[in-house]
Every structure is written in structure tokens, then in C-alpha cells.
Amino acid sequence: MKKVLAMPQSLTGARWHYCPGCGHGIIHRLVAESMDELGIRERTIGICPVGCAVLAYDYFNCDMLEAAHGRAPAVATGIKRILGDRVVFTYQGDGDLASIGMGEIVHAASRGEKITVFFVNNTVYGMTGGQMAPTTLLGQVTTTSPFGRDKDREGYPMKVAELLSTLEGAAYVTRVAINTPANAARAKKAIKRAFEVQMAGTGFSLVEILSTCPTNWGLGPVEAMKWLEEKMIPYYPLGDYKVKEAQ
């Protein structure tokens, strides 16, 4: 009998601490499968954020490092500048990357650091209990935007893929989602491609992944997927924002 579904080698198999229906588990799996298929597990170094994925070092079966809040791209830079032939990725939430760590991500992209960033956009600060993130949608209620995000009070939600795609050093910037099996398959393709762009030395690569936080959205796992599709995708359109050919 052929085994059609097995635990990727790039995952340790430790039990998720993520809430039921959370997108992080799906995304971890897509990243791990991509690592397996590219055969890079033993030369990959991953960097966890501060956020719900802070414990990702328990799950990814490769060398891992846990960074201070928002600083993962700088940590990745330090590693990659020394170990240029290794594959280095960061895994960051929207508070981590687009708020406190905006400086680091913009400059890493601008320098064309040959690293890969998995940016998980779930529109809230998950770990600290659902506060407003830079990516919180207009009208969205969070614990720190209790009246709904208002453009005049809290400003507009930030479109990270669009923003970073304007930078010369960015070689591959794309936005995907994990709300349907078809989208998850596309997400995995993008993840693999992002790794390949790094390995080809073309420049900085980032995959923005629209994800869910059922717990802080106050929705069940299925409704959360629906909410992602109906509310998030219209504001955060899926697709490639930057594709630089290898030279």
C-alpha cells in the first residue's frame, strides 16, 4: 500500500499549541513539505517571531532561532551574511513584521537580503489576545479598536506585499491564502518558489499568507475561513506583486 499522507520530515511531530482552526498549523505544514521536497532541511535555519508562532522551534525539524519582537529579518541577515550557502527563513506575524518590525523588514528587502520571509497576516495580534494590528481591516472590532477600526482614528490597514514590492532588492513578493485546498496548494507553490529564489541568489523573497485567528475573531474554524474569503481577500488581493528573473 502506498502511503499518501505522512508527517513531513521537516516537522518534529510535536503537538501544536495552536488553537483549533488556526492557520499557523496549516502554514507550518506547507513550509515543511516545501523544505522536504527541496531537500533543504539539513541546511535550513529558521527564525521564529514573537507572536503565536514563537514556539515554532518546537515544530520545525531544522536549526531554529527565536528572535526578539520584530527583529527576525535582522537576525536572518546576520546569519545569512555569514553562512551564505544555507537557506534562511523567518516566520512572522503581522504585529511582528508590519508594526514593531517594519524597519527591519523594509531594510532587509531593500538590501536584497537573500532570505525568505513567511508573513502570516491574520489581521490581529493573536498571542496577546486580539489587539489591533497594522493589518486590521476598517470596521473590524478588536480589543484595542472596540468601536471598529476607523480610518480617522486608527488609520488604514497596511498592504505589506504591495509596499515591499516597490523595493529594488525584493525579488519575489506574493500574496496567498489558506482558506481552501486550492488556495493552500497555491500557497505551497509560492512557498517553494520563494525558497528557490533565495537559493538562486536572486534577492529577497516574501510570501504574505492570509490566515485565520478564529479565537480572537470570535468565529468557528469554518466561519473564519469564510470571513477570510469575504473580508480579507477583497482588501488584500491574492497574486504576485514582484517577480524578478534570476540573472
Ligand X SMILES: Cc1ncc(C[n+]2csc(CCOP(=O)(O)OP(=O)(O)O)c2C)c(N)n1
- Which residues, including other chains, have CB under 8 Å from residue 9's CB and lie 6 or more apart? 32, 36, 41, 61
Least Å distance, CB 12 to another protein, is 8
Q: Which is nearer to ligand SF4, 61 or 122 (CB)?
A: 122
Distance CA 128, CA 93 (A): 12
96 binds, among another protein, ligand SF4, ligand X, none (CB under 5 to 8 A by kind): ligand X
CB of 52 to ligand X, least distance (A): 4
Buried b (16+ CB within 10 A) or exposed e, 15-39: eeebbebbbbbbbbbbbbbbbbebe
Return d(Cα 65, Cα 59) in angstroms, integer.
12
Return the residues of window 46-105 that contact ligand SF4 according to CB under 6 A: 52
Comparing CB distances to ligand SF4, the nearer of 44 and 215 is 215
Q: HSE of 126 in the Cβ direction (CA atoms, 13 Å)?
A: 25
Say whether residue 126 binds ligand SF4 (CB under 6 A): yes
Interface pick for another protein out of 8, 29, 44, 89 (rule CB under 8 A): 44
At residue 220, what is the residue type? G
Q: Which residue is nearest to ligand X (CB)?
A: 93
Residue 26 backbone phi and psi in degrees, to 5:
-60, -45
Q: What torsion, rounded to 10 degrees, do the Cα atoms 19, 22, 24, 25 define?
A: 70
113 in contact with ligand X (CB under 6 A)? no
Our finding on whether 133 is near ligand SF4 (CB under 6 A) is no
Contacts (CB under 6 A) with ligand X, residues 30-69: 49-53, 69
Secondary structure letter of residue 84 according to DSSP: T
Looking at 58-66, 120-128, 163-171, 193-201, which segment touches ligand SF4 (CB under 6 A)? 120-128
- Measured from the CB atom, the residue of 24 and 29 that comes closer to ligand SF4 is 24
Bridging pattern class, strands 204-210 and 44-48: unpaired
Q: What minimum distance in Å lies between the beta carbon of 74 and another protein?
A: 4
Of 11-19, 91-99, 161-169, 179-187, which segment contacts ligand X by CB under 6 A?
91-99
Q: Is 93 in the site for ligand X (CB under 6 A)?
A: yes
Task: Pick the stretch among 74-82, 127-135, 160-168, 186-194 that binds ligand X (CB under 6 A).
Answer: 127-135
Contact between 29 and 8 (Cβ < 8 Å): yes
Contact 167, 106 (CB under 8 A): yes
Q: What is the dihedral of CA 82, 119, 218, 224, to 10 degrees?
A: -130
Interface residues with ligand SF4 (CB under 6 A) are 18-19, 22, 24, 52, 122, 126-127, 213-216
